[in-house]
Amino acid sequence: MGIVKKNNNAQVSKFETMFGIDKRSLAIFRVLVGLIGIYDMFERWPDIKAHYSDEGLIPRSMVTDNFWNKQWFSIHLISGSVLCIQLIFIVNMVVCFLLMIGYRSRLMMFFNYLFILSIQSRNNIVGHGGDVYMRVICYFTMFLPLGSVFSIDSAFKKPVLRRENKKLSLVNFCTFAVILQIIFLYVFSYVHKTGDEWRKDYTASFFALNLDYFRTFLADWILNFPTLLQIMTVAVLYYEGFGFLFLFSPVLTAPVKAFGAVGFTALHIGFAAFMRLGIFSPICATGTLLLYPSWLWDHLFNYVRTRERTDLKVYYSGKHGYRIAALVSTFFLLPEVDVSPIPNSLDQEEIQSNNSSGSNGNLSNENDDGSINMPFSPSINSNWIIVKDHKGIKHTGFKAFLTICKASPILTPVAKVLETRLGSYYGKKTLSLCERVICKLNDDIIVAKPAYSSPVAMGNHLYHPTGSEYSLSDPIIPDEASNHYYRRLNRKVRFLKITKRALFNMIAAVSIVLALSWNCTTVDCGVPIGLPPSLHWTVFLIRVDQMWSMFSPRPPAAHWWYLFEGELDDGTQMELWNNQGLYTWEPNLAPYSREKPDPYPPCIGNHRWFKIYENLNTGQGYELIRLGMGRWVCREYNTRHLGEKRLHKFNIVYRNEKQNLDNTRTIQNDIILWSHICYDKATTTY
Q: Which residue has the higher pLDDT, 368 or 665?
A: 665
Distance CA 112, CA 512 (A): 20
Q: What is the pLDDT of residues 136-146, one digit of tens each?
A: 999 999 999 99
Q: Which residues have CB under 8 Å from 561's CB, separation 6+?
A: 577, 596, 597, 600, 603, 655, 656
Query: Which range of residues forms the domain containing residue 423?
Result: 307-445
Is residue 538 within 8 A of residue 70, CB to CB? The reply is no
Report pLDDT for 137. Answer: 98
Report pLDDT for 82. Answer: 96
DSSP 3-state assignment of 371? coil
Q: CA gyration radius for the chain?
A: 31
Q: What is the pTM of this model?
A: 0.85
Q: Which residues have CB under 8 Å from 83's CB, separation 6+?
A: none
Distance CA 44, CA 120 (A): 12
Q: Does 576 fall in a domain?
A: yes
Q: Averaged over 520-531, what is the pLDDT?
A: 78
Q: What are phi and psi of 218, to 5 degrees?
A: -70, -35
Q: Averaged over 598-606, what is the pLDDT?
A: 91
Distance CA 22, CA 25 (A): 5
Cβ-based burial of 465 (10 A; exposed 0-12, middle 13-18, buried ≥19):
exposed
- The answer to whether the bond into 599 is cis (omega within 30° of 0) is yes
Distance CA 162, CA 158 (A): 10
Please give the tally of structural domains in the chain: 3
Beta strands in 305-422 (DSSP E): 313-316, 338-341, 350-353, 372-375, 385-388, 394-396
DSSP letter at 392?
S
Is residue 118 within 8 A of residue 74, CB to CB? The reply is yes
Highest mean pLDDT among 148-157, 465-474, 545-554: 545-554
Q: Which of 445, 460, 494 is the last residue of a domain?
A: 445
Residue 360 has pLDDT above 90, yes or no: no
Report pLDDT for 109. Answer: 97
Distance CA 159, CA 154 (A): 10
Residue 492 has pLDDT above 80, yes or no: no
Report pLDDT for 392. Answer: 84
Q: Which amino acid is at 2?
A: G
Q: Which residue has the higher pLDDT, 274 or 478?
A: 274
Q: What are phi and psi of 120, to 5 degrees?
A: -75, -35
Q: Averaged over 653-680, what is the pLDDT?
A: 94
Tallying the residues shown for the chain, one arrives at 686
DSSP 3-state assignment of 277? coil
Q: Does 139 fall in a domain?
A: yes
> How do strand 338-341 and strand 313-316 relate by DSSP bridges?
parallel
Q: Does 277 fall in a domain?
A: no
Q: Does 275 fall in a domain?
A: no
Please, what is the angle between helix 129-141 and helix 173-192, to 10°?
A: 160
Percent of the chain clearing pLDDT 70 (strictly above): 82
Q: What is the pLDDT of residues 286-316, one digit of tens each?
A: 999 999 999 999 998 888 888 788 888 888 8
Average pLDDT of every residue of the chain = 84
Report pLDDT for 226. Answer: 94
Q: Which residue has the higher pLDDT, 390 or 451?
A: 390
Q: Which of 445, 476, 495 is the last residue of a domain?
A: 445
Q: What are phi and psi of 524, to 5 degrees?
A: -80, 100
Q: What is the pLDDT of residues 384-396, one digit of tens each?
A: 778 888 888 888 8
Is residue 166 within 8 A of residue 217, CB to CB? The reply is no
Q: What is the pLDDT of residues 328-341, one digit of tens each?
A: 888 887 767 777 78
Q: Averaged over 37-44, what is the pLDDT?
A: 97
Lowest-confidence region among 319-328, 362-371, 493-502: 362-371
Alpha helix segments (H runs only) across 357-411: 397-407
Please report the sign of the dihedral spanned by the C-alpha atoms of residue 566, residue 570, residue 573, residue 575: negative
Report pLDDT for 344. Answer: 66
Is residue 241 within 8 A of residue 194, CB to CB? The reply is no
Report pLDDT for 461. Answer: 43
Report pLDDT for 610. Answer: 95
Q: State the Cα torsion 463-469-471-477 to the nearest 10°.
A: -50
Q: Which of 131, 157, 183 is the last residue of a domain?
A: 157
Q: What are phi and psi of 310, to 5 degrees?
A: -75, -30
Q: Does 102 fall in a domain?
A: yes
Report pLDDT for 358. Answer: 41
Of 185, 182, 204, 184, the C-alpha closest to 274 is 204
Kindly state the helix (H) or strand (E) to which residue 605 belongs, with its residue range.
Answer: none
Q: Does 226 fall in a domain?
A: no
**Beta bridge pairs of residue 340:** 315
Please report the sign of the dihedral spanned by the C-alpha atoms of residue 576, residue 581, residue 585, residue 588: negative
Residue 218 has pLDDT above 50, yes or no: yes
Lowest-confidence region among 73-87, 480-494, 554-568: 480-494
Provide the pLDDT confidence category of residue 530 given band limits of 50, 70 and 90: confident
> How many separate helices (H) and strands (E) can be counted in the chain?
27, 17
Q: Which residue has the higher pLDDT, 427 or 336?
A: 427
DSSP 3-state assignment of 372? strand
Provide the pLDDT confidence category of residue 472 given band limits of 50, 70 and 90: very low
Is residue 455 within 8 A of residue 462, CB to CB? The reply is yes
Percent of the chain clearing pLDDT 90 (strictly above): 61
Is residue 531 within 8 A of residue 545, CB to CB? The reply is no
Q: Does 659 fall in a domain?
A: yes
Of 227, 296, 221, the C-alpha closest to 261 is 296
Report pLDDT for 391. Answer: 85
Report pLDDT for 317. Answer: 77
Cβ-based burial of 14 (10 A; exposed 0-12, middle 13-18, buried ≥19):
middle
Provide the pLDDT confidence category of residue 77 given band limits of 50, 70 and 90: very high
Q: Does 262 fall in a domain?
A: no
Distance CA 644, CA 648 (A): 9
Q: Which residue has the higher pLDDT, 374 or 47?
A: 47
Provide the pLDDT confidence category of residue 523 given band limits of 50, 70 and 90: confident
Of 226, 227, 231, 236, the C-alpha closest to 275 is 236
Provide the pLDDT confidence category of residue 75 given band limits of 50, 70 and 90: very high
